[in-house]
Chain A
Amino acid sequence: MTKRGNHLLLLVFIIVALASACTQQRTPCYDPKIVSVAIGTYRIVDTAEGDTSLVDPAFYCLDTPLQFTINSRNKFSALLSPFVDSTRWVLVPNATRQDDTIPDGTPVEFYDTLTFYHTRKMNFVSNACGYVYYYTLDGVKTTYNSLDSILIVNPSVDNNANTQHVKIYY
């Protein structure tokens, strides 16, 4: 009885100490919440496909109040609108050529506008993180001033950062 009682008492003290260290606060959000379309640029050489690095790329959105540019050589991420079903992005393969003109003074259109058409679905991540929108790419429309073609390889856009969704060929 005495030994058992001591055993119980020790456990009570340990648990009280643990409980004392606990106060309920919002747990930090450790789950990824960035949901974006991962885009890669490629070039077909003979029958093989390889990454192609653009010279001085700029990638920016036409539909956000806050304009931002993402610079990368061959990997881009496009955020999608949580309000409407399409989002427009502009991809400039060589931003240093923006002043190029043909001899009569007309600017050369060397950039392409990508319009992503998508549906969105609200997804509960956790109480700590709240909700995020996951998207399904229904299609993409583009100009072909610089790029050759565009392909949706995975239409499901979620918080998995290891998935590529769109390939652009030059």
Chain B
Amino acid sequence: MLRYTISLLACLLTSLTSFGQDDEDSTANKKIVATQNQLSIGVDFFQPVLNSFSSGKKTYEGIIEYSLPNDVYLAVEGGFGTGQVDYTAPILKYTTSNSFVRVGVNKSMLQRLATSDWDMVFIGLRYAVGFIQRSEAQYSIDNQYFGNVYGTIPATNMTAHWAEITGGMRVELFKGLFAGYNVRAKFMLNPKSFKELAPYSIAGFGKGEKTAVFDFNMYLSYAIRWNKKNVTAPQQ
């Protein structure tokens, strides 16, 4: 867990350092604030690429971000996915499907260059919940001396709760069209719920048998803006 956190902080610090140098000269003594509200809707365009490399799990997810005062953004993320385990020797076969929702905030660490500058490097926090359906699982316990044991575990529904520390960036490629990424350190809050059979993959979280996961997303999003105001506040 500590390793993940250190990696995430190192990544964020690297980004912040490089961007901070750009901003020092141009902002002078003014703090430029947003003159519009922004609502952006995006999808993780990289998950389908990862899905194509993985036969056992599929995940699809999207994000909605809404600008709040002080360069804080409300983030609501959601998605769904499936997982399939089909192992032999020993046998372990089952499928899972789940949906998830994450809610949290991002705080932009990048000073605006202009009121229309919505690029950002941010850090954030999330709370997430996933609703998992697991099929009946077939298993074997192989024993070369006494003989193999075969059995099934009934299908069940489970709920996963996890928290995330996240960071990343958004860059406005064209007017309203953003690309960006999130890196995430995820921490399962109720790992004991999966003692009987931890799902191989929980969409939105990752490997269900891990209590801490390091992950990333790459988003393409489109933003709409309104409430145009001409406000420029001096820096304190």
List A residues at the B interface (Cβ < 8 Å).
1, 3-5, 7-8, 11-12, 15-16, 19-20, 22-24, 26, 61, 63-66, 68, 79, 81-83, 122, 124, 126-127, 130-133
B209 touches A127 (CB 8 A): yes
Shortest distance from the beta carbon of B39 to any chain A beta carbon, whole Å: 22
Q: Is B181 an interface residue (CB 8 A)?
A: yes
- A8-B171, A24-B57, A26-B87 known; A82 vs B198 contact (CB < 8 Å): no
B147 close to A (CB within 8 Å) = yes
- Give the number of residues in B that approach A within 8 Å (Cβ atoms): 44
Give chain B residues whose Cβ lies under 8 Å from the Cβ of A15: 46, 216, 218
Inside 8 A of B171's CB, which chain A residues have their CB?
1, 4-5, 8
Can you list, as one digit per residue, whether each of B177-201 has a CB less than 8 Å from chain A (1) or not (0)? 0011100000000000001111010
Q: List 7 A-B contacts (CB under 8 A).
A: A12-B218, A19-B46, A19-B53, A79-B143, A82-B147, A124-B196, A133-B149
- Binary contact track B150-164/A, C-beta < 8 Å → 1, others 0: 010000000000000
Complex alpha-carbon distance, A22 and B149, angstroms? 33
Is B55 in contact with chain A by the CB < 8 A criterion?
Answer: yes
B87 touches A130 (CB 8 A): yes
> Per-position contact with A for B44-80: 1 when CB-CB < 8 Å, else 0?
0010011001111100000000000000000000000
Would you give the shortest CB distance from B53 to chain A, in whole angstroms? 6
- Complex interface: chain A residues within 8 A of B180 (CB): 8
C-alpha gap A7/B18 in the complex (Å): 10
Q: Which residues of B contact A (CB under 8 A)?
A: 15, 18-19, 22, 46, 49-50, 53-57, 85, 87, 90-92, 119, 139-147, 149, 151, 169, 171-173, 179-181, 195-198, 200, 209, 216, 218
The complex places the Cα of A16 from the Cα of B87 at a distance, in Å, of: 27
Chain B interface SS verdict (over half): mixed
Q: Which residues of A contact B87 (CB under 8 A)?
A: 26, 127, 130
List 8 tightest A-B contacts by C-beta distance, closest first: A130-B90, A24-B54, A64-B145, A24-B56, A127-B200, A4-B171, A82-B149, A130-B92
Interface SS, A side: mixed
**Contact call B209/A126, Cβ cutoff below 8 A:** yes
Taking a contact as CB atoms closer than 8 A, the residue among A3, A63, A127 that contacts B92 in the complex is A127
Question: Known: A11-B181, A24-B56, A127-B209. Is A132-B141 also a contact (CB below 8 A)?
Answer: yes
Interface centre among A22, A64, A124 (most CB of B within 10 A): A124
| B54 CB contacts on chain A under 8 angstroms | 22-24
Chain B residues with CB below 8 A from A130, complex form: 87, 90-92, 139-142
The distance from the CB of A159 to the nearest CB of chain B, in whole angstroms, is 13
Q: Which B residues lie within 8 Å of A81 (CB)? A: 146
Closest to A64 in B: B145
* Set of chain B residues within 8 Å of A8, measured between Cβ atoms: 169, 171, 179-181
B19 contacts A4, C-beta separation under 8 Å: yes
Assembled-state Cα–Cα distance A131/B141 (Å): 6
Q: Is the CB of B146 within 8 A of A82?
A: yes
Q: Please, how many angstroms separate the alpha-carbon atoms of A4 and B16 in the complex?
A: 11
